[in-house]
């Protein structure tokens, strides 16, 4: 028997962290969202332990900024040592990254998910169907039919939606329906993960430590306030079954003076780390995000955050298509923009993993020699950029040159600083609000024709003039903010722009030096969105 239960603008399969963020982003824009999640309650144990500054900015925009201090703490420093205790690499993780938030925040994933779920429960447009597994999906061209049932059996329930996003994790059902090929980078290592609560105050110096000991690569990191994680790689001659026991966990934790007398072992589990991505992220009305389209080893702390970036890129596009301000072809820019980005994060994680997971003593000694020789040398800006998870977009809905390359600052993640507006001060994203922004060093009225202004209005764009740091905040009016942290005017100057058109996901669409340049940007955006601005529905 079939029962029709929900009809939505977007149906999300899976309510893990990526599905949760997407649901908030869409429901906050007024879209009707249904989530179907297999399990009745959230998974109670952490996987991820950190997110970066862009991840924090995304979470804040999703409405849980005030909870980040309770869920997480700045990650602090990160050191790699060899078996002899010599520092191979030391990274001071900045307390303030490009997005204003710490470069890395260590967090307790169950607390993060609880905050996201609580926020979701306050949004009337969001319906979460728990305890149902999606078992069939049919794309009818103008809508999608999704069938779910309880995992242990029972009647089928049919849901309809205009779009379906698979946020259903590494074994994604939606990915199977799309039928995409997967590219596998051939990385595979098993690690025992131990999540621990210590009963005693202990300061960890460094706070995050990687011990590159070829006999047993191991890790000790913060896992959010009151939580620590230790990880131990499976080595030759040891089976997963042997490693995956409480006895093994305690035996290995002893290496760090952690034992039943001073700690509670919340859980232990052997994970197989791999590196894979899907070739196709969109097929008709079906899309993929998060682990459903990319998995990576956790060494760069990027898996979940990459998923947050996916949905931040996708949600405003779905919203624009549903709202009639963009043609559905806009959705093709989603994989074009996100796949290279995710591939970079995967490659970065694999590169780190290949160094960390070295178990050949001779190769490890060679590695140590090279790393010790270069440990004190400053990292060149180009190498630092390459190693950063914050990468520019390389194509898609951007101001592109004739050769199809982004014209700087197109594709760059805009920085975030504190600003003072007419009636409040705080982070730019909070004070100015979500959506497109035309960030201007001078009066926007002088940079736009009436027709261009009206078009930007239909997109809900905010026109913001930035006043120099030090200006009395009383000088700010409804259309201007004072650049309290001195972030925005230097950004405009650095990119040679009088105005930068910023997309709702905080990436620059493009910059312009003058009024003619702004006209060109607006015309390009209009062409890229591919639909006359109307307020009608899909």
Alpha carbon distance 314, 8 (integer Å): 17
The alpha carbon torsion through 70, 74, 79, 83 (nearest 10 deg) reads 0
Smallest distance, Å, CB 307 to ligand FAD? 4
Which segments within 224-344 are labelled E, that is strand?
Answer: 228-233, 263-278, 282-283, 286-288, 294-295
In the stretch 50-89, what mask flags binding to ligand FAD with x, by CB under 6 A? xx--------------------------------------
Which segments within 181-303 are labelled E, that is strand?
Answer: 182-198, 208-212, 218-222, 228-233, 263-278, 282-283, 286-288, 294-295
Q: Is 169 an interacting residue with respect to ligand FAD (CB under 6 A)?
A: yes
Q: Exactly one of 48, 209, 253, 348 binds ligand FAD (CB under 6 A); which one? A: 48
Q: Is 193 an interacting residue with respect to ligand FAD (CB under 6 A)?
A: yes
Q: Is 147 an interacting residue with respect to ligand FAD (CB under 6 A)?
A: no
Taking CB under 6 A as the binding criterion, the range among 8-16, 361-369, 386-394, 462-470 that sits at the site for ligand FAD is 8-16
Residue 388 or 495 having the CB closest to ligand FAD:
388
Q: Is 17 an interacting residue with respect to ligand FAD (CB under 6 A)?
A: yes
Residue 102 or 169 having the CB closest to ligand FAD:
169
Contact by Cβ (8 Å): 509, 495:
no
User: 39 burial class (0-12, 13-18, 19+ CB within 10 angstroms)?
Assistant: middle
**Interface positions, 105-144, toward ligand FAD (CB under 6 A):** 133-134
**Interface positions, 297-316, toward ligand FAD (CB under 6 A):** 298, 301-305, 307
Contact by Cβ (8 Å): 51, 105:
yes
Q: How many residues belong to the site for ligand FAD (CB under 6 A)?
A: 33
Q: Is 210 an interacting residue with respect to ligand FAD (CB under 6 A)?
A: no
What count of other Cβ atoms lies within 10 Å of the Cβ of residue 444?
A: 21
Residue 63 or 169 having the CB closest to ligand FAD:
169
**CB proximity list for 269: less than 8 A, separation 6 or greater:** 45, 192, 193, 244
Smallest distance, Å, CB 478 to ligand FAD? 38
Smallest distance, Å, CB 128 to ligand FAD? 11
Alpha carbon distance 194, 265 (integer Å): 7
Smallest distance, Å, CB 180 to ligand FAD? 16
Smallest distance, Å, CB 535 to ligand FAD? 32
Measured in whole angstroms, the distance separating CA 73 from the mean position of its chain's CA atoms is 18
SS3 161: strand
Smallest distance, Å, CB 76 to ligand FAD? 14
- Structure-block tokens of residue 307: 């998923």
User: 228 burial class (0-12, 13-18, 19+ CB within 10 angstroms)?
Assistant: buried
Taking CB under 6 A as the binding criterion, the range among 4-12, 33-41, 411-419, 510-518 that sits at the site for ligand FAD is 33-41
Q: Is 101 an interacting residue with respect to ligand FAD (CB under 6 A)?
A: no
Alpha carbon distance 6, 208 (integer Å): 46
Q: Which positions lie near ligand FAD, rule CB under 6 A?
A: 13-19, 36-39, 47-51, 133-134, 167-169, 173, 193, 271, 290-291, 298, 301-305, 307
């Amino acid at each position: 028997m079939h029962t029709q239960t929900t009809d939505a603008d977007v149906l999300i399969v899976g309510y893990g962290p990526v599905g949760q963020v997407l649901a908030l982003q869409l429901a906050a824009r007024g879209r009707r969202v249904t989530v179907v999640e297999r399990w009745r309650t959230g998974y109670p144990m952490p996987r991820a332990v950190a997110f970066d500054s862009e991840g924090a900015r995304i979470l804040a925009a999703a409405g849980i900024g005030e909870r980040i201090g309770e869920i997480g703490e700045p990650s602090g420093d990160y050191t790699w040592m060899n078996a002899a205790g010599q520092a191979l690499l030391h990274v001071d993780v900045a307390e303030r990254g490009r997005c204003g938030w710490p470069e890395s925040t260590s967090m307790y994933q169950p607390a993060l998910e609880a905050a996201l779920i609580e926020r979701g429960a306050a949004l009337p447009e969001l319906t979460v169907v728990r305890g149902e597994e999606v078992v069939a999906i049919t794309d009818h061209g103008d809508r999608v039919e999704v069938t779910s049932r309880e995992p242990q059996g029972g009647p089928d329930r049919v849901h309809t939606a205009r779009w379906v996003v698979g946020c259903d994790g590494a074994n994604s059902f939606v990915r199977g329906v799309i039928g995409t090929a997967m590219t596998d980078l051939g990385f595979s290592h098993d690690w025992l993960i131990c999540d621990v609560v210590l009963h005693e105050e202990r300061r960890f110096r460094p706070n995050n430590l990687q011990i590159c000991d070829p006999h047993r690569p191991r890790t000790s990191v913060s896992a959010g306030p009151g939580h620590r994680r230790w990880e131990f790689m499976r080595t030759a001659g040891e089976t997963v079954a042997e490693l995956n026991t409480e006895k093994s966990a305690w035996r290995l934790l002893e290496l760090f003076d952690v034992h039943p007398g001073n700690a509670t072992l919340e859980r232990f589990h052997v994970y197989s780390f791999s590196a894979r991505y899907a070739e196709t992220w969109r097929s008709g009305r079906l899309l993929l995000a998060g682990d459903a389209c990319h998995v990576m080893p956790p060494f760069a702390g990027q898996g979940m955050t990459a998923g947050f970036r996916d949905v931040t890129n996708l949600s405003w596009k779905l919203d624009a298509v549903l709202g009639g301000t963009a043609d559905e072809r806009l959705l093709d820019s989603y994989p074009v923009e996100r796949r290279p980005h995710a591939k970079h994060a995967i490659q970065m994680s694999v590169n780190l993993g290949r160094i960390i997971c070295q178990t050949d003593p001779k190769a490890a000694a060679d590695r140590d020699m090279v790393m010790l020789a270069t440990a004190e040398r400053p990292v060149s800006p180009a190498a630092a950029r390459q190693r950063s998870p914050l990468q520019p977009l390389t194509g898609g809905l951007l101001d592109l040159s004739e050769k199809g390359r982004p014209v700087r600052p197109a594709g760059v993640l805009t920085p975030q600083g504190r600003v003072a507006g007419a009636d409040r001060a705080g982070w730019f994203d909070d004070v100015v609000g979500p959506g497109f922004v035309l960030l201007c060093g001078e009066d926007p009225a002088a940079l736009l024709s009436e027709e261009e202004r009206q078009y930007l209005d239909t997109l809900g764009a905010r026109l913001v003039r930035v006043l120099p740091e030090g200006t009395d905040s009383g000088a700010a009016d409804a259309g201007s903010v004072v650049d309290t942290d001195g972030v925005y005017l230097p950004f405009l100057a650095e990119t040679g722009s009088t105005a930068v058109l910023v997309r709702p996901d905080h990436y620059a669409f493009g910059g312009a030096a003058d009024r003619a340049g702004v006209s060109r940007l607006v015309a390009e955006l209009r062409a890229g969105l591919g639909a006359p601005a109307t307020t009608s529905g899909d």
